[in-house]
Amino acid sequence: MKKVKRFIPASIFGMLLMLLAGCGEENLSALRPKGTASKISFDMMMLSIYIMLGVFFVVAVIFTYVILKYRKRRGDEDIIPEQVEGNTTLEVIWTAIPILLLLILAIPTVLATFTLAAEEPQEGDDTLKIQVTAYQYWWDFNYPDLEFNTAQDLYIPVGEKIYVELTSKDVIHSFWVPALAGKMDTNPGLTNAMWIEAKEPGVYKGKCAELCGPSHALMDFRVIALEKDEFDAWVNHMKTAESAPQTEAAQAGEEIFTESCISCHAVGSEGGNIGPDLTVFGDRETLAGFLEMTDEKIADWIKDPQALKPANHMPAFKDQLNDDEINALVAYLKELKAN
């Protein structure tokens, strides 16, 4: 029995530790804000925590004082305490204090709500606009003013407010980059808007935050914040991107791509938009948002995508293409880079 009693607090402590450790992944935590919007939310959260801690502390002190001072002592059996009915001063005080605390919480909350609201950039405004479209289970990023698309990796310039429009082509998903901003739903047939701003260059992990099917948990993406000049160079590449495979294997791969893949996937200005744009596929650190980017994994993916990301919409090519053809495709895809 003693062992069980000791085990319970130990396991609660252990679970708390694991929970807190899970919150700590660099660049995937709302508790380590790296953006302007996430810092506003974080500060609001801390303000309410400080107020709650203050209330808890005052109540706990008064509570402890009262139960100690007015506890039943030996010989108190027949004594009836002083009977009090109402105390106007006390009632005014304990009504006024909560009102004051709620005002301290409400004023910054309302101000933050207005600050976090996204305003559509007007004509002549050079705010970068990005249209996010969610699909089961990947993300399309369109830069309407720059006239190109990308997928899975969202490139933004650092230190600028980016206007983001969100929608979905199938079910409801939710766009969430915890270190940069709060989450927002992407709804089919509806456009939501928000803004994000990264304060420092870096790679910020993004998640789908709305249960959307069997591979919901695998619907990861990344936001890559670059210094302005690097971002401009990237934009220049995207605008002029053309596939020009160097090696023989990659050239063979391009032919296969043109026959089997291009109706769904675009490279540069050529190709369909049913699957993710692959213009800078070779720059991605992850395959399909969550897999290690190795030749074997890319080949496995082409052979049987369902085995890796269940219920996604890409067909399996294990019966259409032989190993040599798949290896050539892999060589071609890996050469698709921004420089």
Would you tell me which residues interact with ligand CUA (CB under 6 A)?
134, 137, 173, 208, 210-212, 216, 219
Our CB check for ligand CUA shows the closer of 148 and 175 to be: 175
- Quote the least distance from Cβ 278 to ligand CUA, whole Å: 20
Our CB check for ligand CUA shows the closer of 178 and 271 to be: 178
- Quote the least distance from Cβ 88 to ligand CUA, whole Å: 55
Our CB check for ligand CUA shows the closer of 219 and 238 to be: 219
Nearest CA to 127 among 164, 162, 165?
A: 162
- Quote the least distance from Cβ 152 to ligand CUA, whole Å: 13
- Quote the least distance from Cβ 28 to ligand CUA, whole Å: 16
Token pair recorded at residue 268: 């540069």
- Quote the least distance from Cβ 102 to ligand CUA, whole Å: 35
Our CB check for ligand CUA shows the closer of 158 and 171 to be: 171
Contact in structure between 39 and 33 (CB atoms under 8 Å): yes
Our CB check for ligand CUA shows the closer of 173 and 334 to be: 173
List of residues 6+ apart from 226 with CB closer than 8 A: 155, 156, 157, 158, 201, 234
Our CB check for ligand CUA shows the closer of 14 and 310 to be: 310
- Quote the least distance from Cβ 31 to ligand CUA, whole Å: 22
The alpha carbon of 246 is separated from its chain's Cα centroid by a whole number of angstroms, namely 36
- Quote the least distance from Cβ 215 to ligand CUA, whole Å: 8
Token pair recorded at residue 259: 């026959």
Our CB check for ligand CUA shows the closer of 167 and 327 to be: 167
Our CB check for ligand CUA shows the closer of 187 and 258 to be: 187
> Per-residue b/e over 166-184, b at no fewer than 16 CB within 10 Å?
bbbeebebbbbbbbbbbbb
Our CB check for ligand CUA shows the closer of 212 and 241 to be: 212
- Quote the least distance from Cβ 70 to ligand CUA, whole Å: 55
CA distances from 119 to 98, 114, 177 (A): 34, 10, 20
- Quote the least distance from Cβ 147 to ligand CUA, whole Å: 27
Residues forming beta bridges with residue 131, ordered by sequence position: 142, 165
